[in-house]
């Protein structure tokens, strides 16, 4: 009935598996938990999990090379046996004790895509990861009422239930290690008029990346968007960065914005990578970056 798919890289998913396994057993359903280690440099983490005799429905695989989350999710979907797949990032944990049962209820609806949402702890903040935390708070941790107003703008692979065939038909399937391709999935769902249901069934995002790492990956995501997404018809309807970029391009202003960006880049970076990151200036930074890339 349900395949829970967890891509991981250098992250211990033991606690997540325990939560999910217990809830699936309590729900008395046919299920499997598939973990795919994307060639971690610390393979002992997943090796210990795979040796556990406690979880009868758990299978752990390992990529021979690092393929990235997009390709790893595709491989997990290919390996899954059931028609419904639930993707969970390795560094999340469900909040509710009825997390699985709430998704089982959603399966009974007409929707083929269901999103439970994502939240962030607001205590024990670490300044080394505060940029990722603040971005998550301001851009990702939105209640159902807000997400429903822009259903395709909050498609996050960290916590998403999908019909397996729908995922395989709409996912980015090129064999490349890219960041930021959740937008590609969201775009295809939008273009193919596949309805998306948002429910109140969140996970807490625990594994926050260091500020510089998240900053670098965000810029790689901008590069991917410009190369693979910017020229797609109607993409601006679901992604604000590309919308503003295409508007500037239409007005012939990308060169001017690029020039201003190169001058102001050190100032913007300083305001972003500090103990109180300015997310609005980060939006401006990405807009300047996509014009200058």
What average pLDDT score do residues 210-238 get?
93
What average pLDDT score do residues 240-266 get?
96
C-alpha distances in angstroms, 123 versus 63, 88, 137, 206, 212? 35, 23, 13, 12, 21
Cross-strand pairs, 118:
203
What average pLDDT score do residues 94-99 get?
95
Order the strands of the 118-119 sheet from edge to edge: 92-94, 203-205, 118-119
- Nearest C-alpha neighbor of 224 from the set 188, 179, 286: 179
- Nearest C-alpha neighbor of 118 from the set 209, 239, 217, 207: 207
Given pLDDT bands bounded at 50, 70 and 90, which one contains residue 290?
Answer: very high
The model's pLDDT over 37-59, given as tens digits with 9 standing for 90+, comes to 988 887 666 666 666 667 888 99
Tell me which DSSP letter residue 196 carries: E
Q: Which residue has the higher pLDDT, 269 or 52?
A: 269
**Among positive and negative, which fits the CA dihedral 172, 177, 182, 187?**
negative
pLDDT score of 54: 75
How far apart are alpha carbons 95 and 117 in whole angstroms? 11
Given pLDDT bands bounded at 50, 70 and 90, which one contains residue 64?
Answer: confident
Domain with CATH 3.90.550.10 in the chain: 2-207
Q: Which CATH architecture has domain 2-207?
A: Alpha-Beta Complex (3.90)
C-alpha distances in angstroms, 18 versus 57, 90, 105? 12, 12, 21
pLDDT score of 123: 73
6 three-state secondary structure: strand
């Amino acid at each position: 009935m349900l395949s829970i798919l967890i891509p991981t890289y250098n992250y211990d998913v033991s606690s997540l598996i325990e939560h999910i396994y217990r809830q699936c057993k309590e729900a008395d359903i046919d299920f499997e938990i598939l973990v795919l280690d994307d060639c971690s440099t610390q393979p002992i983490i997943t090796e210990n999990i795979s040796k556990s005799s406690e979880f009868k429905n758990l299978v752990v695989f390992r990529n021979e090379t690092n393929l990235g989350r997009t390709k790893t999710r595709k491989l997990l979907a290919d390996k899954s046996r059931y028609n419904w797949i639930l993707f969970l990032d390795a560094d999340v944990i469900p909040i509710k004790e009825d997390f699985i049962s709430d998704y089982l209820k959603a399966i009974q609806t007409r929707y083929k895509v269901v999103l439970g949402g994502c939240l962030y702890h607001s205590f024990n903040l670490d300044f080394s990861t505060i940029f990722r935390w603040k971005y998550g708070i301001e851009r990702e941790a939105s209640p159902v009422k807000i997400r429903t107003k822009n259903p395709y703008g909050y498609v996050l692979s960290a916590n998403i239930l999908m019909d397996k065939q729908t995922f395989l038909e709409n996912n980015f399937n090129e064999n490349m290690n890219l960041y930021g391709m959740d937008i590609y999935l969201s775009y295809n769902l939008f273009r193919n008029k596949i309805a998306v249901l948002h429910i109140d069934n969140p996970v807490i995002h625990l594994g926050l990346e260091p500020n510089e790492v998240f900053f670098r990956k965000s810029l790689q995501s901008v590069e991917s968007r410009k190369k693979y997404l910017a020229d797609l018809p109607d993409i601006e309807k679901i992604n604000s960065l590309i919308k503003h970029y295409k508007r500037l391009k239409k007005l012939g202003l990308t060169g001017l914005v690029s020039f201003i960006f190169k001058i102001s880049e050190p100032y913007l970076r300083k305001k972003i990578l500090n103990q109180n990151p300015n997310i609005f200036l980060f939006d401006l930074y990405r807009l300047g970056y996509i014009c200058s890339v």
